[in-house]
Amino acid sequence: MPARINSSHWLQTAPDFSSDAVTLPARAEIAILGAGVMASALAYWLARRGQSPLAVERNPIPSAGATGRSGGLHATGPNHAYATAIERFGRASAREIFAATILNQQLLEDVLAREAIDADYAVTGFLSLAARADEVETLRASARELSADGFPAEGLDRDAAGGFE
């Protein structure tokens, strides 16, 4: 697949898959639409429980949709700053969402180890950057709230953040 602007490393380096037409079975007990990270995880766990799921993907390769565009990132936390998630969903729900994403990372590590998959996977943490003054305060509040809820977090000023390579 040729390199594209805004294309992930996965999509640029994915192996070629056969695009020949495949005859699908007339019936499937469980059909899963898609072959991104969520659909693949669902198929995996169903198969581990003795089911025979059928994954149907419209793209020529697995993870060529949203998963591929995100590079297969497995992020921690909600899709909002933690302080914003607390405002929108309440502290208990925000805490549960954050904890669930940590559990998801642990499950992924377990699957990679169990299946002996060399995915070059690493949990490196994350860095949220602010472009505006209001974002700075939201991120500072998020770091405080994460720490208060028992999650490791640190707020950095511009000079401290500039030390990352």
111-153 confidence digits (pLDDT tens): 999 999 888 888 887 888 888 889 999 999 999 999 999 999 9
Same domain for 29 and 83, yes or no, is no
Place 24 in a pLDDT band, splitting at 50, 70 and 90.
confident
Q: Which domain holds residue 29?
A: 1-73
Mean pLDDT on 29-49: 92
Same domain for 98 and 164, yes or no, is yes
CB 85 within 8 A of CB 58: no
pLDDT of residue 123: 82
Contacts (Cβ under 8 Å, ≥6 apart) of 4: 11, 12
pLDDT exceeds cutoff 50 at 3 = no
Same domain for 85 and 48, yes or no, is no
Q: Which of 48, 73, 98 is the last residue of a domain?
A: 73
pLDDT of residue 20: 67
Question: Backbone phi, then psi, for 24, in 5-degree steps?
Answer: -85, 150
**What SS3 state is found at 138?**
helix
From residue 1, alpha-carbon distances to 10, 11, 14, 37, 63 in Å are 10, 7, 7, 20, 13
Place 29 in a pLDDT band, splitting at 50, 70 and 90.
very high
Q: What is the mean pLDDT of the chain?
A: 84
Same domain for 132 and 121, yes or no, is yes
CB atoms within 10 A of CB 104: 15
Of 37, 141, 39, whose CA–CA distance to 91 is shortest?
Answer: 141
**What SS3 state is found at 55?**
strand
Mean pLDDT on 81-102: 96
Mean pLDDT on 36-48: 91
Contacts (Cβ under 8 Å, ≥6 apart) of 164: 127
Same domain for 21 and 39, yes or no, is yes
Q: What is the pLDDT of residues 99-117, one digit of tens each?
A: 999 998 899 999 999 999 8
Same domain for 33 and 78, yes or no, is no
Same domain for 83 and 139, yes or no, is yes
pLDDT exceeds cutoff 90 at 77 = no
Same domain for 67 and 110, yes or no, is no
Q: How far, in Å, CA of 123 to CA of 164, rounded? A: 16
Mean pLDDT on 56-73: 74
Same domain for 52 and 92, yes or no, is no
From residue 77, alpha-carbon distances to 9, 17, 62 in Å are 23, 33, 25
Q: Which of 73, 89, 116 is the last residue of a domain?
A: 73
- Number of domains observed in the structure of the chain: 2
